[in-house]
Amino acid sequence: MARRSGSFSTITEPFRSFWHRFSYGLLIAAAFGLLVLGKADIVLVERTRTAIVDATAPILDVLSRPAATVSDLLQQARELRDLRDENARLREENARLMQWQQAARLLEAENRSLRALTGYIPDPAASYVTGRVIGDSGGPFVRSVLVNVGSRDGVEKGQAAMTGQGLAGRIAEVGYQHARALLITDLNSRIPVIVENTRDRAILAGDNTVRPKLLYLDSNAKVSPGDRIVTSGHAGALPPGLPVGIVISVSDHEVRVKPFVEWHKIEYLRLVDFSLPAAARSEPTRQEASQSPGRR
């Protein structure tokens, strides 16, 4: 069928031929022209770019929604998978906790029976006051710190000075607005302690180093590095079970303990009143400590 004269394709044929022949050069010229125009009139180019972005933003928003929807679906699938894993883990943990709860109930019933047989009197509830460390002796012969609470706050001599890690020392001096805590590393500090897993008694003695030692430990005691040391409660100086430190070295001559307290980070001390008898609030003397059997 012959092409009708004056049709649209006949009219545009020269323009299409021209574009195919010179399109590359025209694009380069257009790019160069836009570059020159951008240098000549920055404001005009900025306005034009803003108008183009405003015009194409709705289109980009519509085109991006399917991608965002797919991304959300993938994220939900990942979260569902993680929730299933978490649910399985929580079920296992809940089963273990139920077993521990049953064991705790049995132990509680056993403790009630034993307390009834022995006439056990529970320890009174402890009270405490927190003080900020305002002074550190830091000398070669004394290991003590000053805190900004005193007798006006209910602080008394002999109370335990503790941090979040464990026992730091005991209150040795009390003023109206301050108190001095003698640290367990001080040369004059003597704390009755016990090896937690073997129940061997000893005296934790400071010697002005950061690693106090155990004295008067029984000759048959089996102490190993890593054993936890806690207060024994003997002599009524401190209640039993307060964390003190761990054994760090054992030799024929001495056993050294690394306290739980990080001395260089002490900013606050909790002064705890365990309602102990006033007669028990003095530090055990060397003569008292020497009465304990042992070889060290």
- Report the b/e string of 139-165 with b at 16+ CB within 10 A: eeeebbbbbebbeebebebbbbbbbee
**Greater model confidence, 291 or 194:** 194
Claim to verify: residue 175 and residue 159 sit in the same structural domain: yes
Assigned token pair, 38: 């951008």
Claim to verify: residue 152 and residue 267 sit in the same structural domain: yes
Q: Give the pLDDT confidence score for residue 64 in this predicted structure.
A: 61
Assigned token pair, 159: 């109370």
Is position 3 within any domain? no
The H-assigned helical ranges of the chain are 8-40, 42-118, 286-289
Claim to verify: residue 86 and residue 133 sit in the same structural domain: no
Is position 6 within any domain? no
Is position 294 within any domain? no
pLDDT in tens, 20-44: 777 777 778 877 777 776 666 677 7
Claim to verify: residue 144 and residue 97 sit in the same structural domain: no
Is position 295 within any domain? no
Claim to verify: residue 133 and residue 116 sit in the same structural domain: no
Contact 241, 252 (CB under 8 A): no
Is position 10 within any domain? no
Contacts of 157 (CB under 8 A, 6+ apart): 171, 172, 173, 174, 281, 282
**Greater model confidence, 116 or 203:** 203
Does residue 190 register a pLDDT over 80? Answer: yes
Claim to verify: residue 108 and residue 226 sit in the same structural domain: no
Is position 34 within any domain? yes
Contacts of 150 (CB under 8 A, 6+ apart): 174, 175, 176, 177, 178, 179
Claim to verify: residue 34 and residue 139 sit in the same structural domain: no
Claim to verify: residue 97 and residue 217 sit in the same structural domain: no
Does residue 154 register a pLDDT over 80? Answer: yes
Claim to verify: residue 144 and residue 256 sit in the same structural domain: yes
Claim to verify: residue 271 and residue 165 sit in the same structural domain: yes
Alpha-carbon gap, residue 149 to 104, rounded angstroms: 39
pLDDT above 70: percentage of residues in the chain: 77
Claim to verify: residue 75 and residue 147 sit in the same structural domain: no
* Among candidate residues 89, 104, 122, the one where a domain is terminated: 122
**Greater model confidence, 272 or 11:** 272
* Average pLDDT score over residue span 251-261: 92
Assigned token pair, 242: 């307060």
pLDDT band at 124; cut points 50, 70, 90: low
* Among candidate residues 122, 146, 162, the one where a domain is terminated: 122
Give which of 189, 224, 194 is closest to 206, Cα–Cα: 189
Q: Give the pLDDT confidence score for residue 138 in this predicted structure.
A: 59
Q: Are strands 190-195 and 160-162 parallel, antiparallel or unpaired?
A: unpaired
Is position 105 within any domain? yes
Q: How many domains does the chain have?
A: 2
Alpha-carbon gap, residue 238 to 259, rounded angstroms: 17
The domain spanning residue 169 has which CATH number?
A: 2.40.10.340
DSSP-derived secondary structure letter, 235: G
Alpha-carbon gap, residue 227 to 205, rounded angstroms: 17
Is position 140 within any domain? yes
Q: Give the pLDDT confidence score for residue 286 in this predicted structure.
A: 43
* Among candidate residues 107, 122, 137, the one where a domain is terminated: 122
DSSP string over 67-84: HHHHHHHHHHHHHHHHHH
Residue 225: give the domain boundaries: 127-289
Contact 191, 237 (CB under 8 A): yes
* Average pLDDT score over residue span 79-96: 87
Q: Give the pLDDT confidence score for residue 281 in this predicted structure.
A: 53
Claim to verify: residue 135 and residue 118 sit in the same structural domain: no
Does residue 77 register a pLDDT over 70? Answer: yes
Does residue 179 register a pLDDT over 70? Answer: yes
Alpha-carbon gap, residue 244 to 225, rounded angstroms: 14
